[in-house]
Structure 1
């Protein structure tokens, strides 16, 4: 069955990083997948009145912002088309539009039609992070978060953050296309962050993956004084991992979404590609 991937690209107020096109096409190529590139341009409605038009020329400013968003979206699609042609990846593309408050929701809704969603990432860019969170927690699909300012390379050493939880199990199942193509799989359990269901949770997963013909080994680490997200990323990079697989944990408090410690840490300081499932 053909694997379908989608790259979701908001263009307002901040576009993703310059490497997102090449990275997304490279991942689709590694998976033997098709790629659907979706730009989501802003559509700010004209809510001006005579007074605001007189002082600020608000309608003109709105037209300017909307046009800049569309131009950015076109440039992104053009760059992806060039990369897809170079790597011979089957590409489709579309341009959607949404009001500012609904850009993330639009991305998540579109992502539901694909096997893997991809989103770009930029450090200290709140709008990019908000879209990524929305896709992770609302699309119902695994979401690959790609650093936006560096090449990701071949994702052949997969590091699984494992604690025996439901969301971790969901992430492992969703990571199957990556696990089947990996040369190394490291299962990492943080032992001093919370009570684990069993001491051997990592070994049990390693045995299960090995029974499926996948090369897996289990490791235990201590977070110590580090935040758990930082500890996981530090360890993954220390063992030359190039993809971190983990469950995305969070729950809703009225309208705010409260993230779990590991999820918050990863989304605050992303240093390698992360496949996150909820």
Structure 2
């Protein structure tokens, strides 16, 4: 079992995906035995006609300049990806398209629906990447692996330590199944349950997940932590700081209302704050 068909999202605006993150994604695809397609969406900034704004601040010229910056970032990112991916032997395609600035996240989610896994490098200070992650997790029906440049090296070699966040939910079960190609390569797997945060989550609830992994040849240990009256995000932070995993696997909780995503507390915290590669499924 493996990821055969992977998608890499190369961000073009406002901050382009850095070359080291592209290279790590290529090497990760190679380690998983799959082929990789890169996608770069060049932004369009729709403007309503405003002669006064054009006269005072040159609004149309500013929009044109930003679009050009996005277009150059996309071309540069795809060129670097193509060079590295061909050299490593995982090149499948390099795709570009244009999208309205506010439609980028939704467009990536639609394209990701026909891939086994979407690789999504995180960029410091880019809220756009958080939006893309949310859209792909909840809108593609496929798992997402997020990471920052420099974080994925252990995954490429085969992770030493993987943590699975488990609450017995449907989304947690989906994440468990989606992560199996990575779990079978791990030296150690831990099933983490956070107690006294969500109704129905009880001690030893992870035993069924442990049995299922054993059937796939993965030996996992059960860990339980208590929120101690705090938030689930704080409980995750304390645990992950102690374990320092190479990968976190988690079901994403939330729903969409029109184009606004409403995330569960744990999902929001993981997407925004956790400094470890994370596989999310919904």
Q: Same fold (TM over 0.5)?
A: yes
Return the offset for 1:35.
0.6
Shift of 1:169: 0.4
In structure 2, the partner of 1:23 is 24
- Report the Cα offset of residue 83 of structure 1: 3.0
- Structure 2 Cα separation of the partners of residues 33 and 73 of structure 1: 23
Question: What is aligned with 2:146?
Answer: 145
How many angstroms does 1:58 deviate by? Answer: 3.5
Shift, 1:129, TM fit = 1.1
8 Å CA contact 1:251, 1:257 repeated in 2: yes
1:207 counterpart = 2:211: yes
Secondary structure of 2:206's match? helix
Kindly report which structure 2 residues correspond to 1:193-272, keeping only aligned pairs within 5 A, or say none. Answer: 193-224=197-228, 226-253=230-257, 255-272=259-276
Counterpart Cα distance in 1 of 2:80 and 2:52 = 41
Aligned residue runs from structure 1 range 87-236, under 5 A: 87-147=88-148, 149-155=149-155, 156=159, 157-224=161-228, 226-236=230-240
Q: How far apart, CA to CA, are the structure 2 residues paired with 1:62 and 1:204?
A: 54
Instruction: Give the CA deviation at 1:274.
Output: 0.5
Q: What SS is found at the alignment partner of 2:41?
A: strand
Partners of 2:197 and 2:96 in 1: CA distance:
43
Distance 1:39 1:262, change over 3 A: same
Alignment partners' CA distance in 1, 2:51 and 2:202: 67
| Count of matched residue pairs | 277
Query: CA shift at 1:46, angstroms?
Result: 5.4
Q: Contact (CA 8 Å) 1:15, 1:128: kept in 2 or not?
A: no
1:228 is displaced (CA, Å) by 1.8
User: Gaps spanning 5+ residues in structure 2: where?
Assistant: none
CA apart distance, 1:162: 0.3
In structure 1, the partner of 2:62 is 61
Q: Compared with structure 1, are the counterparts of its residues 158 and 96 closer, same or farther at alpha carbon in structure 2 (3 Å cutoff)?
A: same
Contact 2:15 2:123 survives alignment (8 Å): no
8 A contact 1:14–1:128 mirrored in 2: no
Q: Distance in 1 between matches of 2:269 and 2:47?
A: 38
Report the equivalent of 2:35.
34
Over the residues paired in the alignment, what is the CA RMSD in angstroms?
A: 2.2
Contact map agreement 2:175 2:281 (CA 8 A) in 1 = yes
Q: Distance in 1 between matches of 2:189 and 2:237?
A: 15
Using the TM superposition, give the Cα deviation of residue 192 of structure 1 relative to its aligned residue in structure 2, in angstroms.
Answer: 2.4
CA–CA separation in structure 1 for the residues paired with 2:14 and 2:5: 28
1:80 matches 2:81:
yes
1:44 maps onto 2:48 in alignment: no
After TM superposition, the score normalised by the length of structure 1 is 0.90
- Structure 1 runs not aligned, ≥5 long: none
